[in-house]
Structure 1
Amino acid sequence: MAQAIAALTAAARTTRTIGAGTDNEHTEPADFGEIACHVITSVAANLGDVDTLLAGRPGSWEADYVRQIVHSTTPEEELLTWRTEPVRLHLDVEGVFYDFGLEQLWDEESGQAIKHEQDDSLTEEQAARADAIAAQIDRLWEQDQAAYREAYLASIRQELTRRGLTIEVEAIDEPADALTWEPFTDELHELARKNTPLPMTGEAPDWTEGTPADSLRRAGLPYTARAQDAI
């Protein structure tokens, strides 16, 4: 609270130049009403909406005035254009891939590849190929996660652009409970999970007949097949 008061007090003490470069050039005190409204509106935008801003005591008279300030400063549909903070989302790619059945697919095929490369009946050439396939399966797993992360962020940026917003986006690896929950970021995350193309197909996850992993099997794109094609 003390820091906020100090910052607003400093802003109130500033001056502005009127009629710069003209015979009527002069200075006036800053328009503190505008400053205060701007600050309050930007804070609401940073939190996602005015209801989240006022969640502590939404029915108070103070909350009513703050709500009026925000709604008078900007139309509700344009509130997020006042945001000054980047959009921060928790992204656990392994967790997403687990939900999609992809981690299980990789784990199963990686285990099979390791078992195959340990087969003593393989010729030297066959053993070398088995080793290469096993290593490639693990490389693909890492590459898929990195590619999905980039595609996820691109999907978020595309949605923000569609809404006319120019906001920085950050994917945070910290646990989800380390971030403050916001309806806005939760909505973006769910949209991204639904629409982000998978690196294996270049298309959004297919849930029509089972999990996305099932759709990869049907398309002939499990890890072993992709590894074999890559070496």
Structure 2
Amino acid sequence: MNALRSRTESSWTALRHRTEPIVLAMDVTAVFRAFGLIEQARTQREQLHEQAATARAADVDELAMLALHIAQLAQDDQRDYLAAFQRAAGTVFRENGILAPVHVIDSSGDTSGLFEYDNPFIERLARLARTHTPLPMTGKPAGAHPGCIAAWLIDAHLDYRSRALSALTQHREGQA
């Protein structure tokens, strides 16, 4: 037991004195898939394409614009979530006395296993940072929202289609 405790304390001390950057990886696509957001964006875009097939010619362009805006919002949300994780990780690591720079990369699609953490404390702090990472569309961490994130966003009118429609409406009002 003392050997394990000594090794644990040694790992923690080494981490607190570390100066080279700590690289954290996040598979943003997997996170958004788990939240139900990948499926939500895909389904809502497909629904718009189906509506366009039977819509009046005057409405087809608007439906296509909404579908494109949903795709852009989904991309922007993933980028913004990764940036929010970067900020949350920096804060969590500093609050725990680790002053080494923290860098975050998107490991979506990586299957090499290259980004597995070799230090259990880095892994633990990365998980803690993730619980503090706010969703771009709400400004609050995922845990602050009850149940399925995608369903909650629909109920709150913060899903992709609602946000795309709101942006289109604001754009029209700005031109009027």
Q: TM-score, normalised by structure 2?
A: 0.80
Q: Is the 8 A contact 1:206 1:215 kept in 2?
A: no
**Which of the pair is proportionally richer in helix?**
2
Q: Which residue of 2 aligns with 1:57?
A: none
- Offset, 1:209: 3.4
Structure having greater relative contact order (Cα 8 Å, sep ≥ 6): 2
Question: Equivalent residues in 2 for 1:1-231 (5 A)?
Answer: 51=7, 79-119=14-54, 121-124=55-58, 126-172=59-105, 173=107, 174-175=110-111, 177-181=113-117, 182-206=119-143, 209-231=146-168
CA 180–131 in structure 1, closer or farther in 2 if over 3 Å, else same = closer
CA 189–116 in structure 1, closer or farther in 2 if over 3 Å, else same = farther
CA 94–180 in structure 1, closer or farther in 2 if over 3 Å, else same = closer
RMSD, aligned α-carbons: 2.4
CA distance in 2, matches of 1:50, 1:171: 30
Q: Based on CA coordinates, which of the two structures has the bigger radius of gyration?
A: 1
CA distance in 2, matches of 1:180, 1:219: 36
Unaligned runs of 5+ in 2: 169-176
| Equivalent position SS for 1:118 | helix
Aligned residues: 160
Q: TM-score, normalised by structure 1?
A: 0.62
Q: Cα deviations across residues 117-144 of structure 1 (Å, max 9, x unaligned)?
A: 232x3232x1111111011000001100
CA distance in 2, matches of 1:137, 1:106: 6
CA 87–171 in structure 1, closer or farther in 2 if over 3 Å, else same = same
Q: Is the 8 A contact 1:90 1:175 kept in 2?
A: no
CA distance in 2, matches of 1:100, 1:179: 22
CA distance in 1, matches of 2:77, 2:70: 10
Q: Cα deviations across residues 145-187 of structure 1 (Å, max 9, x unaligned)?
A: 1100100100000111212322211223244711342212211
| Equivalent position SS for 1:167 | coil
- Offset, 1:84: 2.5
Give the residue type in structure 1 aligned to 2:122. T
Q: Which residue of 1 aligns with 2:174?
A: none
CA distance in 1, matches of 2:145, 2:135: 15
